[in-house]
Structure 1
Amino acid sequence: MASRRQFFKQGSLGLLSSLILPLPVFAKDMSDFNGVVINEGEGEAFQMRDGTAIVKIKIAKAQGAESISFLSESFKPGDGLPVHKHLNEDELIFLHKGSGLFTLGDKQYQIKEGAVALVPKGVWHGLQNTGSENIEMRFGYTPSGFEGFFREVGTPVGQAFIQKTMNERRAIAKKWGMIYRD
């Protein structure tokens, strides 16, 4: 009985220490970050794909938001986000306006205004605008940082659009931990 009691006592201490000791690894001091407010017309804006799709970075790691980023995108009927997956981030997508065909894993869903999708890292996903109006979507990543992909692959609004080939986009995506499905 004493050895069993000793076993549980030592096991409990081991479990407790394993829960307490790693906390500094996971907890980051965010005391200097007091949040951020971005209005509708604000944020870094980039022309994507054929130059008509616009991505706005609203909340980013560069602003001090380590745990999450938030962006918006607008794209015309017939345009779409190629099926891809993120190796490092979960993504939350909200369809603010429009309708389309959303791919998630091996399934496809007809979505419309108000739809929400949670895409865990490593899951294939994409969105095709099959409607008659622009898609307006809001999306975010956790952890933050992937928004840097849009800075690198897009052209800042106000500058002459430079279209990247799919091979160039694939190389940039790979750098950021994203893979396009062939």
Structure 2
Amino acid sequence: MPKTYDELMQKLDDLGINVSTIRHAPVFTVAEAQDLRGQVPGAHTKNLFLKDKKDNFFLVTVGEEAQVDLKTIHTKIGAASRVSFGKPEKLLEYLGLVPGSVSVLGVINDDEHQVKLVLDEDLMRNDIINAHPLSNDATTSIGRDDLLRFLKATGHEPLILKIDETNPT
């Protein structure tokens, strides 16, 4: 059974991580989120739940304005082949999330470590990162270092890679 918002908040509290959460109407796209959020400081995210032909799953979290080349990302993230979007059933099974609610915080539900987590290095230059707290009707702001501590506590050591193609280096 996927963890609830309250269980996520309890886990963060148990780790001594302070977050702030605002409630809003459900959003399903970055554009909808931009229209609703007002002035929430920090970086806002978009998330890609991907799979390769060997059924390896990846959660790629980037800044909301990032451009991701799905034709070449497999070479960066260590996929066995080109990637496609993972099916909603696997998203629910592994991360306890439904489409539109995909979030880096969903790794709290990946007890068996079925999903490799990839964070964009440009995103990780921000002090505050905003993500859905397991549903798309709220946004939680968490400090970058606290996010990394949370991820480690869930057993997920993220790969931090240059994913955003907006300003390739």
**So what's the TM-score if we normalise by structure 1?**
0.26
Higher relative contact order, chain-length normalized (CA < 8 Å, sep 6+)? 2
For the pair shown, the structure with the greater C-alpha radius of gyration is 1
Flag the structure with higher helix content. Answer: 2
Flag the structure with higher strand content. Answer: 1
